Structure 1
Amino acid sequence: MSAGAGDQLAAATPVAPLVSSPVPPPADRGATRIADRVVRRVAGRAAEEVLRPGGGEVVRASADVHGSRVDRIHLDVGLAYPAHLETSGAELQRRVTERTAHLTGLTVSRTAVRITRLSQSPTSAVESTEPAKSTASAESVAPRAGRRPWSERRAPAAVFALIGAVVSGALLADVVAVAVGRAPSDVRVRTLDWLTSHGPADTVVAVGAAVATVAGLWLVFVALTPGLRGRLAMSGTRAGIDRPAAAALVRHRAADVPGVSRVRVTAGRRRIAIRARLSFGDPVGARDVLTRVSQDVVTGLGLAKPPRVRVRVSRDEYWQPPRTQDREHDREHDRERKEATPDANAPAPAP
């Protein structure tokens, strides 16, 4: 074929136009992922916006992000005293949830707030949110039922996961070694020989079964109970306060009672025990005042299940009685002295 015929054939063959494929919009070209540490910092900054003006602080923050959803935001915060803990926790929880969802575009499923400390401050950012209610009206309102925060049980899960990983890894290594033509390990051979020669009637087998049963029951108990026994749940919110913080608040108020030289407070789940030493005054009156003040503090915490208050007052070694008792003692002493000493103006008895 000549060159001219080739050119005529190429000219006669139609050429298809190049059609470019449609370019997808930018939103469909990839995926945007927000790391946990970014959400953690955003939640911490949102909490600081509420706490810092009044002297509060964020102690610790964590976040669990899965796709476009934040499963949990956990905050450990410190509040400025005095503050209404229930209202402050609810306001902080609401602001952090809304602010984090607005800035990140993610759906926040849960925000947990834990109050770990109280600090003295002349002003508090949460005082404006404190409801204008008297102590009497607060006592008349029954607290709503609430549940204790649920513990994550990281230590038991990590221990049993580590034990299972070690045992499974050793067994897998031995099975692979046998598959490639090596002899089984001496540990497995001795274990199989021991199991074939011992039955349920042996003491060692019975003890091992008992230990396994106790461990299994303990795992079931851990899975079905909330845990966090050192934290007191607050009513109406997912916030909570540590028992040492509640004890410190009660101790601070109890130390201001006149006559109290030393006070020790122990906060439990169902009871708050107060042991006070009195340097002067009436022990019965001081105990009544301590009971009333402590009950006011516990009511102000807004707990779901307020613990009972138990007060014990003992006299200090330098205790002084109240002034009324001193006067009565002096009057009784003068009366006894007058009765024992005869009056000089009285007539002498007739012989």
Structure 2
Amino acid sequence: MTTAAPTPTPVPTPVPAAAAQRGTTTVSERAVRRIAERATTEALPGRAAQATATVRGRKAEVSLGVTLPYPSSLAEGVRDVQRHVVDRTRELTGLDVPTARVNVTSLAPPRYSRAPVSPAEETNSPRTPRRWWSGRRTPVALLTTSAAVVCGALALDLIQVHTAHHAAAAWRVSAVHWLSGNGPGDPAVVIAGGLTALLGVWMIVLAVTPGLRHRSTVRTAAGRVDAAVDRSAVRSLVRDAVGDVPGIGAVRVRVRRRRITVRARLAFGDRVEASAAVTAAADAAVSSCRLRHEPRVRVTVTPEPVWQPPTAPDVPSVPSAPSVPTTPLVAKEVDQ
């Protein structure tokens, strides 16, 4: 008797799911920000960093606020941070990160010694702009908002008049009547014209002046890299350098574009020597900033109320030779 072998049950072949049915992976802006901050910490060990991130589809924009060591090459430090943050963020998130915008918030100098710069680097350094131009965001926003409100109200009223056959707005009718009844010589028209002219002059001045007066440009040796330092940072550097001079108490520093004024109080020591030491410390701190326009340093050292001029050291007196007693001369009359 022959038994037929059971026929195997066919196994269905799995059909791959369509791309739309596999799900999507969304990387939040918070995750990108944390990854960028971590990458910045890897590039700058021991330095705190703040980051902001914006994700649009498969593209991420990253902005960083970092503290760089000083003295060091500012351009190279920014470039290294940008490269590392972009590579790590792109690797860990899978998003397209074109670049990272780095904002140097502060510098952390170990001491006020200037980093050595070769003469060739100093000579071949590219031209740095004298001043940074401001974006003028607040004036532009105010002007744009006011113009948009006026033009929008006028356009809306015209649309309602011509499409919905509404009566013209009361403010537009009043404005037309007032303009038709007042000539160029009326005081109100003269005042309005003067204010408009002043507004125009103000906008022209903002357009042709660079602004950002609180920042000073720095000489850099890297191409297509512009660097600037905040004047508050220069003030802190000069104040700390002068404060390390022996005998100096309170220090006040005022930084302007062309001049730096240093007022120091002397607690003890020689006034002339302290003034020379304060001048040397302030000049060294300003030179270490490598400003394109090095301002003149003016130093004033004022003694404290408790200051006393240093006394001269006591010189030991030389003992005088013992006095030799002298015999008084007595004139004698000699008999002839």
What is the TM-score normalised by the length of structure 1? Answer: 0.66
The letter of the residue matching 2:43 is V
Indicate the SS of the match to 1:319: coil
Q: Which residue does the alignment assign to 1:56?
A: 47
How do residues 116-195 of structure 1 correspond to structure 2 at under 5 angstroms? Answer: 116-119=105-108, 133=116, 145-147=127-129, 148-179=131-162, 180-195=164-179
* CA distance in 2 between partners of 1:206 and 1:96 (Å): 57
* CA distance in 2 between partners of 1:293 and 1:275 (Å): 13
Residues 170/224 of structure 1: CA separation in 2 closer, same or farther (3 Å cut): same
Identity of aligned residues (%): 34
Bigger mean CA offset, 258-267 vs 166-175: 166-175
Contact preservation (8 Å) 1:199, 1:205: yes
Task: Tell me how many residue pairs correspond in the alignment.
Answer: 279
* CA distance in 1 between partners of 2:201 and 2:274 (Å): 48
The letter of the residue matching 1:309 is V
Partner of residue 94 from structure 1, selected from 74, 79, 86:
79
* CA distance in 2 between partners of 1:224 and 1:94 (Å): 31
**Superposition RMSD in Å:** 3.8
- The structure that is helix-richer by fraction is 1
Partner of residue 259 from structure 2, selected from 245, 251, 271:
271
- Per-residue deviation, 1:59: 4.2
Contact preservation (8 Å) 2:36, 2:51: no
* CA distance in 2 between partners of 1:131 and 1:259 (Å): 24
Matched, 1:84 2:77: no
Consecutive unaligned residues in structure 2, runs of 5 or more:
1-18, 20-25, 318-324, 326-336
Residues 84/311 of structure 1: CA separation in 2 closer, same or farther (3 Å cut): same
Greater radius of gyration (CA): 2
Residues 189/211 of structure 1: CA separation in 2 closer, same or farther (3 Å cut): same
* CA distance in 1 between partners of 2:294 and 2:56 (Å): 34
How do residues 1-351 of structure 1 correspond to structure 2 at under 5 angstroms? Answer: 44-51=37-44, 53=45, 55-59=46-50, 75-80=64-69, 83-84=70-71, 87=73, 89-102=74-87, 103=90, 105-108=96-99, 111=101, 113-114=103-104, 116-119=105-108, 133=116, 145-147=127-129, 148-179=131-162, 180-236=164-220, 237-324=225-312
The letter of the residue matching 1:200 is P
* CA distance in 2 between partners of 1:131 and 1:46 (Å): 29
* CA distance in 1 between partners of 2:32 and 2:139 (Å): 28
Please give the per-residue CA displacement for 1:72-96, whole angstroms capped at 9, x wherever unaligned.
Answer: x75432245xx215x1x21232123
Indicate the SS of the match to 2:305: strand
- Per-residue deviation, 1:105: 4.8
Residues 233/45 of structure 1: CA separation in 2 closer, same or farther (3 Å cut): farther
Bigger mean CA offset, 35-44 vs 278-287: 35-44
* CA distance in 1 between partners of 2:108 and 2:59 (Å): 37
